[in-house]
A and B are shown apart, each in its own frame.
Chain A
């Protein structure tokens, strides 16, 4: 991408001055009326850097009221945009990136040595001189959590309708439909309003879109990873819950298709460099459920193999899947009661949770690790499309 960073102006010290009466215009043009697409090709998180340069000038002239007022208007402006665009992934991701970047700037240039270890000498010259904005950092951190939660809600809302049909119902392995259990009508997943079936490709396309937007907007990689950990957890939970409630999908062939689908998702994670332990681990219960459907379920040795393999599934879940398991044809036997009792006996010492279904709305706590920028304020150029001519470079 083209990055519009100019060579530094000779006398520009990386501060931006404005008259107090222009504050509302600044917030309107830079926050409430801004369309993220207008900044394509510019430095990611440009609004955050511009706001920091304005804060820095107010700090430089020791005007605490101006700092208070600008930060309060900024925060209220961001909240207003988020409320107006509460189903817009791109807008929400854009303001998460910028709020986090502003928070990083307030740390990086706080004068606190703990946050300055990676600063260049030039960047150290751009630190705040008069005010300690620790309390505002807390407000921005709380705001970032709110925005993150909105982002997860939007992305889950887009993905959730696809999950059951893409993970459990769609048959992409050729010839597998011939070995499905007989006697079950093909079901549509949740809604009964016509064709709402999705293939795995639809989930992958949607996740590609999320990932591209977040990367382009300069969202911190650690946060992107947490978004996908959350989304993969939801895919796991929704799929496993359906498997635990539907006899027609508890079969060898669904197990095979499911394992293939999970491996496609893992491949996607690897391709996007997101295949970290904490993300991949969220899929473990589903991987084990798919393997459980495929394993032999007859001898004591089979029982032992199942018990040692299914460590991420509770006893209740293992027993439920075995009870629901549907033979493919008349040559395959049902799982016997005796076999299920053997499994229960072997697992009785496990201290398993008592609930059968997973809480698919569970949210992992989010963390925003400090991520200083290598950009120097005096290298940042303000594009004309922002209509901020009233800002003076100092």
Chain B
């Protein structure tokens, strides 16, 4: 079969709101 094994390493993701917070703080830090 051409099927591959299921990917194993779960990449943890922040929520959409957390991403926004991180993005805002990065923008604030930049001059």
Show the binding face of A for B, using Cβ within 8 Å: 59, 64, 67-68, 71-72, 75-76, 79, 110-113, 116, 121, 124-125, 127-136, 138-139, 142-143, 146
Contact = CB atoms under 8 A, between A and B. Distances in A.
Contact of B11 (A79, A112, A124, A135): A135
B2 to A, nearest CB: 4
Contacts of B12: 135
Interface residues on chain B, size class: 10 to 19
Given A79-B20, A142-B16, A124 B10 contact: no
Contacts of A121: 2
A128 B3 contact: no
A71 B19 CA distance: 11
Contacts of A68: 11, 13
A-B pairs, 5 with minimum CB distance: A135-B13, A121-B2, A132-B10, A111-B6, A132-B7
A195 to B, nearest CB: 43
Interface in B7-26: 7-16, 19-20, 22-23
Question: Looking at chain A's contact residues, is the secondary structure mostly helix, strand, loop, or mixed?
Answer: helix
B2 A128 contact: no
A2 to B, nearest CB: 32
B11 A139 contact: no
Contact of A129 (B7, B11, B19, B22): B7
Contacts of A112: 6
7 contacts: A64-B9, A75-B16, A111-B4, A116-B3, A129-B7, A130-B9, A142-B16
Contacts of A129: 4, 7
A245 B24 CA distance: 46
B11 A132 contact: yes
Contacts of B22: 72
Given A135-B12, A138-B13, 4 more contacts: A72-B22, A134-B10, A136-B13, A139-B14
B5 to A, nearest CB: 7
Contact of A124 (B3, B14, B16, B20): B3
A111 B7 contact: yes
A135 B9 contact: no
Contacts of B10: 131-132, 134-135
Contact of B15 (A59, A139, A146): A139
Contacts of A72: 14, 19, 22
A64 B7 CA distance: 12
Contacts of A116: 3
Given A76-B23, A124-B2, A125-B2, A130 B7 contact: yes
